[in-house]
Structure 1
Amino acid sequence: METTVKVKKAKGPFELKMQFFGLPLALFLFAVLYTMPTPAGLSYAGKMALAVFAAALTLWISESLPNYAVSLLVIVALPLTGAWSESKAMEVLGYEVIWLTFAAFIIASGMEKSGLARRMALFLISKFGKSVNSVLLLLIFINFAIAFVVPSTTARAAMMFPIVLLVVEAFEVNINDPKNNFGKMLALHGIQANNLSTAAIVTATSSQILAISFIKDLTDHDVSWMEWFIASAPVTILTLIAMFFIGKALFKLPKSEVKTLDLSKIKAEYAKLGKMTLNEKKALVIFLVTLTLWVIDSIQVKLFGFQLSLVMVAILSAAFFFMPHIGILKWKEAKISWNLLIFACGAYAGGVALDETGLAAWGLNILFKRMGLQNMSFVPLFAVLMFVASFSHFMFTSKTVRTIILIPTIIGIANATGYNPVALALPAAFCIADTITLPPHSKVNLIYYGTGYFTVLEQMVYGILVLLAKWAIMVLASVTWFKVIGLV
């Protein structure tokens, strides 16, 4: 079954007004900041970095101009206004985060073309989907597993959505039957398992890649694939378990054992795939080599005499997908989102300029004095920052925008309070994909909202409860697991 899922969010009246007034507001903010006297304790470069960033952020949020166009303007505006040198602004295109994101697009294209993840999902459901509970748990597991393989939340949703519809059909779910919540749970689990599983694997979305790049540049700490996974995976798994039981408590499900379950259509779809193709075998080998190199990053020197970083492994993997006889892709088949790469360049340049000009430290010092954050002990401060990181998607739906605001800010807070910045910034990065509360918060949400199986209120209540559970797990981890692994 070939299914293409394309979702374009329709703008509401408020968003249309934002789009209309965004450009004048951005210009006004820039003019005010440009003409005001430089505040005491802040350099002229810091003031101009703030002016450029505030204008760009307004345009990114309001979407008055395409985000990639705004980023190109940022690259020009930073040296033009004296906020940052031209060489530094231009160098951003060569930063590791850009290369890693570029490689991730190629890896995702190769895995999508191979069809390996789809085969895995259909096999597991046709083999082990014996009951309502087993199917729900299987779909959680599959979403978690394919996050290793497909580094894009939207691509994973597009792949899993038709499979979920097949499961709904197999269970003969009636959308008009208020007593049957199975379809509702399948759709909501599709959203939550997709987004929450993302937090376990750093390469599962480009925003997390951006986060560790900020951490490296602002703290000199290089977060490896394995370090991220060891810290985040237990939190993710416990959150997924909590999600399952919270869903069962909210929505009454049919009997756990369904004797008349007909999975013939799912089995038929799996049978259509036939034997494992050569492309699938090649993709599997490339993926296993890539994953192995990421996992053993800390002992590569001992094994090989050299070490390949997370970025170098990703680039090597991308090269394998293009190589004759070894790979399965041609250049034209690689779905590289150049607009996102350019957007990331401008966003990253603006964020780093705020730090290097001293603006971030200056602003945070003022904030601490007014809020009293500098007097907080670690655990209360951790709890406050994780709550903000998780629920900030209500204000900023873009994961990239939230990353460029949150991670440098939290690192600044940590530096000012004397705590290890990685102990606060890295857990906050685990919350970047927590966009599970409302349909407009991500394309994944919109894809599943199209089923009609749940209301906006149902998604919001379920999402908030699960995120509160994750927040509690994160706070508990700060005094247990994170201490055990040396993060805190």
Structure 2
Amino acid sequence: MLLSKEQYKKFLWPVLVGVLLWLCTSLRPEPLSAEAWQMFAIFVATIIGCITQPLPIGAISIIGFVAATLTNVIDIDTAVAGFGNSSIWLIAMAFFISRGFIKTGLGRRIALNFVSLFGKRTLQLAYSIIGVDLVLAPATPSNTARAGGVIYPIIQSLADAFHSNPKDETRQDIGAFLMFTEFHGDIITSAMFLTAMAGNPLAQAFASNANITINWITWFLAALVPGIISLIIIPFLIYKIYPPKIKETPNAKQWANKQLKDMGTFSRSEKMMSGIFILALISWMTSSLTGIDATLTAFIALALLLITGVLSWQDVLKETGAWNTLTWFSILVMMATQLNELGFIPWFSQLIVANLGNMNWFLVLCLLCLIYFYSHYFFASATAHVSAMYAALLSVALTAGVPGQLAALMLGFFGSLVSSTTHYSSGPAPIYFDSKFVTQSEWWKMNFILGIVYIIIWLGVGTAWTKIIGIW
């Protein structure tokens, strides 16, 4: 099927910006090589293409890949080397693991049990739903699959059970509150685990390029306290500023029990899935002791899922999200790595730091996180935002004297927290917004307030906590 006129129009900005930057090669700053500037032009054009999306992000990345190699900015061996990045393969493997939760019904069963146990009041019900997200997050790098594939149908069914309809004012009875609260719960859990959002391992890879090591347990421990505080405070704040009309939900337990009865007994495949998930989680948490790499653990988990028959090879082949992510992540990481190796990012960092003067490093960190957070209004993908800005901001932070692991982790956390901005901020955002329970004005107003809360918790409490546990 040929592309539409609208799709071709969306090529205008990436092509125009890329060509203009390329033509400015002769006017580039003196310290930069022609190759560094030209890679910058291709990278910027690719990122803009990922935002305007005339084609899916994977296709845009392939075009950028071809442009970089065809123009001899980099050779083909350097270009394809990006597909061997272990952090990106970790993302792909965890996609397959998360497919097991959906295929076996284990994710749905966990959600229904939480609702049955804790769903007597609306606020408790919201916490229980977020609790499901928290349980699934360590093995679900696609927060879109987690929030959209597992939890969203549960909330939709609950709203229906309480006759909360997005088409009239009954939307505020319970549906709007549950939808918006789970959206934020998913943001928080995405920040808490290295393997909970696709952009996190990407940040880990960029940090590694800067000789900063972040493993699964380091990320988890650093995010633990600000994450728990956020999980407690954010739903309560939403309950106060956007209260549901229905406060008590005694029927939720009965509804969940009926759904569980219809599902039947705990199946063999669910038992296998549970055991393999627990083994993977233990391996990730103890990697610093066992020496087993996080990516290897994910491969082992997938092998066990295949051996036990929980997943078939056809399931793996049909998991298009994993293969799509593997493709475009590999290319964007390769481009960002080349920007660093060709000298563009070090030059850019020195330029920014020179204009900061003798500013205290903590103020620099706060400024960079604020820039990172509020610039997300221009992005429709948290992962694309990480790809575009993380490496450069980290380099600026290091040059300004911010402790390495602290800078890498804080920017890593904010790579997820930036999603608390718009209704197009990340994969889960349009899913929950398109349910029509929450209006666009409500979405933006509440997100602006909650964004300030996130910044205070993670930069304030989070930085203090990392000092206590010896990160810096």
Q: Same fold (TM over 0.5)?
A: yes
Distance in 1 between the 2:48 and 2:249 partners?
52
Distance in 1 between the 2:383 and 2:194 partners?
14
Distance 1:418 1:332, change over 3 A: same
| Cα shift at 1:33 | 3.2
**1:107-158, CA deviations, whole angstroms, 9 ceiling, x for partnerless residues?**
1222221211110110121233112222122122222222124332121222
Distance 1:262 1:252, change over 3 A: closer
2:442 is aligned to 458
Distance in 2 between the 1:169 and 1:70 partners?
39
Distance in 1 between the 2:68 and 2:172 partners?
56
DSSP 3-state at the match of 2:232? helix
Tell whether 2:236 aligns with 1:245: yes
1:150 is aligned to 140
Instruction: Trace 1:346-365 onto structure 2 (pairs within 5 A).
Output: 346-365=331-350
DSSP 3-state at the match of 2:416? coil
1:188 is aligned to 180
Matched-pair contact (CA < 8 Å) for 2:114–2:128: yes
2:467 is aligned to 483
1:407 is aligned to 390
Distance in 1 between the 2:117 and 2:353 partners?
56
Distance 1:239 1:344, change over 3 A: same
Matched-pair contact (CA < 8 Å) for 1:33–1:51: no
Query: Which residues of structure 1 form unaligned runs of 5+?
Result: 1-10, 301-306
Distance 1:258 1:292, change over 3 A: closer
Distance in 1 between the 2:12 and 2:339 partners?
25
Q: 1:343 aligns with which of 311, 328, 331?
A: 328
2:210 is aligned to 218
| Cα shift at 1:179 | 9.9
| Cα shift at 1:170 | 3.5
**1:176-201, CA deviations, whole angstroms, 9 ceiling, x for partnerless residues?**
44795422211101211122211111
Instruction: Trace 1:104-123 onto structure 2 (pairs within 5 A).
Output: 104-123=94-113
Matched-pair contact (CA < 8 Å) for 1:149–1:287: yes
Distance 1:126 1:421, change over 3 A: same
Matched-pair contact (CA < 8 Å) for 2:83–2:331: no
Q: 2:10 aligns with which of 19, 37, 50?
A: 19
What's the RMSD between the two structures over aligned residues? 2.5
Query: Which residues of structure 2 form unaligned runs of 5+?
Result: none
DSSP 3-state at the match of 1:209? helix
1:384 is aligned to 367
Q: 1:424 aligns with which of 407, 419, 423?
A: 407
Distance in 2 between the 1:253 and 1:48 partners?
53
Distance in 2 between the 1:163 and 1:354 partners?
44
Distance 1:186 1:38, change over 3 A: closer
Normalised to the residue count of structure 1, the TM-score between the two structures is 0.88
| Cα shift at 1:310 | 1.0
Distance in 2 between the 1:208 and 1:479 partners?
18
Over the matched positions of the two proteins, sequence identity in percent amounts to 24
Distance in 2 between the 1:482 and 1:202 partners?
16
Q: 1:74 aligns with which of 61, 64, 67?
A: 64
> Amino acid of the residue matched to residue 310 of structure 2?
I
| Cα shift at 1:172 | 3.8
Aligned pairs, how many? 463
1:227 is aligned to 218
**1:337-360, CA deviations, whole angstroms, 9 ceiling, x for partnerless residues?**
323221112111110011001111
Distance 1:473 1:131, change over 3 A: same
Distance in 2 between the 1:391 and 1:327 partners?
45
1:333 is aligned to 315
DSSP 3-state at the match of 1:441? coil
> Amino acid of the residue matched to residue 104 of structure 1?
A
